[in-house]
Structure 1
């Protein structure tokens, strides 16, 4: 299956991968495409760099109260581990001044206790910062995906409008061609409100149909154009249900009239009785 690389890059899957939100299948597909298409690999590196810059720009420095609390906890632990004998004068603050064998285990345990407390505090601070950054990234990612979807929707609308405008210009050019013979096909008896027009190029013999006013085609049915040649109907092509302007039909070398019938989808080798319009050349 051919992948539209530009559309894939803009789909938001790369940002999900960088944030660790992509599924296993999405990750495998992304890595495969990155190995095959340098543009995908470049987009991944760009996304990682963008998120890294955003993280640095929005980083939160821990407050002074966290530092003070940590130092206070460490001071209390060291004070509690000092010898209780009041006769020591002055009391030594350096750990190296404690010589007794019975004090060493107390000091060592106190140090590990202080380090554990510091590690826990740092872990809590780190978790809080990571949680904040994750929520910030998640919110930014959701906004990005929403804006991307809106952009794609607007681009699709613009593409449709441009296609219709181009089709209209082409139709107007064909209608203005002096070689085009205009054959009006009014509605038959009982269907007088119907109207269609054939534009028949007298040089190339190409036939174009304009559905001025025809009822909506029922499910399973399709309009079929016929050229009346020497009193016999000749298939001039099926009218596509998606055609809204000039519909190009089959080339007809000669004809005395044109007609449209409603047939089963796909057409019929001979016209059915349900005729809608008929016009002489």
Structure 2
């Protein structure tokens, strides 16, 4: 047969796979040394197998496959000597290992990206939840402030600044019927670290008698600066002093910020 018929017969594929017997293998090996077309075809088959193995989709044409199958069926009663003339099996193993490594790396990267996305979503969720809580708190503070200011039963006492802070001011909203007291401290400066404002209910006669009715704690966090303190009865004046954290048993008069009579 001529060269093209020889190539089309499928025997070169069997040669590359190492399935031919020793004499057939030697015949093709000798022929490849003298026939460049045969040699080039063998090289092309080997390259094709390596390329196909790297993508894990090895495909052989139906015509060639049938020739290989027919050849194998003819020899099924014999012991087939495997005489591979190339490192195809080794290439296939390397390709499989490399592909497995790439696949594992890809899955690991995807897992890390998924975990990172979950953490990002959880962080964003926490931020949104905090924003919602802050908004709810501000709305509550605003609603409280409005209800205090609009309550017609409240007596409003204006407290003016004293010597230590003449620019300071505050307001007392005192519902004598319900015995509730709210303090509008928006005119007071933020207290320094370790200090807190303390509210005093004062009786002026027969002698000055101060009674603590509360502390303006968490001053910075209170956006509206409206504070609810303890109720009182019989107050003739109100004063605000700056005291150590936790408050004092009696007012520090040198730290009297505001004062106002009822």
TM-score, with length taken from structure 2: 0.65
Which residue pairs with 2:209 in the alignment?
232
The aligned counterpart of 1:275 is: 256
SS in structure 1 of the partner of residue 18 of structure 2: helix
Matches within 5 A, 1:187-206: 187-206=161-180
3-state SS, counterpart of residue 147 of structure 2: helix
Q: For 1:132, what is the secondary structure of its paired residue?
A: helix
Residue-by-residue CA offset, 1:138-186 (whole Å, 9 max, x unaligned): 3344234324323421332232122101210122012211211111101
Runs of 4+ residues deviating >6 angstroms: 72-75, 85-88, 113-116
Tell me the TM-score normalised to structure 1 length.
0.61
Q: Given the superposition, is the C-alpha separation of residues 73 and 157 from structure 1 closer, same or farther in structure 2, using an over 3 Å criterion?
A: farther
Matches of 1:228 and 1:188, distance apart in 2: 16
What secondary structure is seen at the aligned counterpart in 1 of 2:22?
Answer: coil
The equivalences for 1:38-187 within 5 A come to 76-79=16-19, 82-84=21-23, 93-94=72-73, 96-99=76-79, 106-107=81-82, 118-187=92-161
Task: Measure how far apart 1:201 and its partner are.
Answer: 1.0
Does the 8 A contact of 2:202 with 2:210 survive in 1?
Answer: yes
Gaps of 5+ in 1: 1-71
Equivalent residues of 1:224, 1:260 under 8 A apart: yes
The 1:183/1:85 distance shift into structure 2, 3 A limit, reads closer
Unaligned runs of 5+ in 2: 1-11, 28-69
Question: What's the counterpart of residue 191 of structure 2?
Answer: 217
Give aligned pairs, total.
Answer: 199
* Higher RCO (C-alpha 8 Å, min separation 6): 2
